[in-house]
Amino acid sequence: MVGNIEVMNHKAYANGSVHHHNGCEEKLNELRSLLGKADGDPLRIVGVGAGAWGSVFAALLQDSYGQYRDKVQIRIWRRSGRAVDRATAEHLFEVINSREDVLRRLIRRCAYLKYVEARLGDRTLYADEILRDGFCLNMIDTPLCPLKVVTNLQEAVWDADIVVNGLPSTETREVFEEISKYWKERLTVPIIISLAKGIEAALHPVPHIVTPTEMIYRATGVPMENILYLGGPNIASEIYNKEYANARICGAEKWRKPLAKFLRQPHFIVWDNSDLVTHEVMGGLKNVYAIGAGMVAALTNESATSKSVYFAHCTSEMIFITHLLTEDPEKLAGPLLADTYVTLLKGRNAWYGQMLAKGGLSLDMGDSISGKGMIQGVSAVGAFYELLSQSSLNVPLRGESKPVAPVELCPILKTLYKILITREQAAKDILQALRDENMNDPRERIEIAQTHAFYMPSLLGQPLNS
């Protein structure tokens, strides 16, 4: 009897995933009601940007709610014209033929032949074309469900109820400034969920951090209560393969609680939190130190001892920076460490650091890498260094006659800046940041942060008296 119930409560999809459909329609109806959607008017959800996490996010929604076509419409926008190179096309063909479910799906859709032709070099595939068949260019090894892809940005967003920002932080401002042109005549305000992890540094009128949600607000004028951030210790491919994961959706209570319920799945638990900005900034900070972790792993032949030394030092720097950014840093300890841990283990930023140290990549190749997408940690290194080196943020230290800039307590950040941004040093020099005999025990940095009132609300754009 239990087996029969299990069969009834699951639906097998063509991509091989299994979908728990109990409760999905009720959650969809509840969100539609909150948004005031009338019968016959579908809830329109569009993902903007089709990197790995953006594509997986859209695919998760499609798997959960795509069957209710009269109630919800799920689409994803990506730029057209990005060609798939021959080597990637060959690898994609191997992936297709290794998965019987995917192979059968493409044959049913009369789409298999074009992958044969691409494998032979007789045809060029495009990123938006393969995404329609369920393949993300930055995550070829993990086939997704087929997606509705729109390459015209105006068509994608003009009537969207929920927009999911899957763009890198470095592209968010530009794209949402364009989107704002299409929303001038709107009568309703959309909800925006940003997945972007990264920051910009602004030095005027005082040094402060600009986050992707702030970029979206400035570009569109959408009220901040309608802009949320979702992040967590997530590897996109593993989430789509139903590995257990969790995330937090952060923002105003009006939308974060109903959206957390709507997005929650048996394998993907979504909690909610009011502290949008600090969680968002922390999501960008861990990418900084992930690059260094990759370098250390490559340079020490994956020495567990060396990696643990690096982890001790980098987490102490992150704890110190957290004390600058928030009045209650203890609340972030768990999420920050969890997100850092998974990013150091298996993230694109750690991979990038490894490849730089091994000589498989060079800095001249830029921070947008074929098959991986944007390496967000590079711009974040520059932004955090620029901010924390400002003399207006100087902090007092025991035993020092003069206050020092916060970056002076962050030797790993300083070294990464000299490697990645000014290029004064080579990747191998990251080890010197750990082996310096003058370096203090990382415990001392944490004690300094905990015993001094270093909190600087101005860093997050908040008034000094907040």
286 among known catalytic residues: yes
d(CA 412, CA 409): 9
Give the model's pLDDT for residue 192: 98
228 in Cβ contact with 276 (< 8 Å): yes
d(CA 201, CA 318): 17
> What are the φ and ψ backbone dihedral angles of 162, each rounded to 5 degrees?
-130, 125
For every residue of 294-344, DSSP letters joined together read HHHHHHTTS-HHHHHHHHHHHHHHHHHHHHHH-S-GGGGHHHHHHHHHHHH
Could you state, in order of their start, the residue ranges of all structural domains in the chain?
A: 2-81+148-274, 86-125, 277-460
CATH class of 277-460: mainly alpha
Question: Among residues 286, 372, 414, 418, which one is catalytic?
Answer: 286
pTM: 0.90
102 in Cβ contact with 135 (< 8 Å): no
CATH for the 2-81+148-274 domain, from 3.10.129.10, 3.40.50.720, 2.60.40.2140, 2.60.40.10: 3.40.50.720
Give the model's pLDDT for residue 339: 83
Give the model's pLDDT for residue 5: 35
Name the nearest CA neighbour of 389 among 459, 319, 461: 459
The pLDDT tens digits along the chain (466 residues) read 334 433 334 444 434 444 445 599 999 999 999 999 999 999 999 999 999 999 999 999 999 999 999 999 999 999 999 999 999 999 999 999 999 999 999 999 999 999 999 999 999 999 999 999 999 999 999 999 999 999 999 999 999 999 999 999 999 999 999 999 999 989 999 999 999 988 999 999 899 999 999 999 999 999 999 999 999 888 899 999 999 998 999 999 999 999 999 999 999 999 998 888 888 998 889 999 999 999 999 999 999 999 999 999 999 999 999 989 888 887 777 777 888 888 888 889 999 999 999 999 999 999 999 888 899 999 999 999 999 999 999 988 776 778 999 999 999 999 999 999 999 999 999 998 887 666 677 888 888 888 777 888 889 876 444 3
Give the model's pLDDT for residue 465: 40
Give the model's pLDDT for residue 414: 96
Q: How far is CA 164 from CA 44, 176, 332, in A?
A: 11, 11, 24
Buried b (16+ CB within 10 A) or exposed e, 189-216: ebbbbbbbbbbbbbeeeebbbbbbbbbb
d(CA 147, CA 145): 6
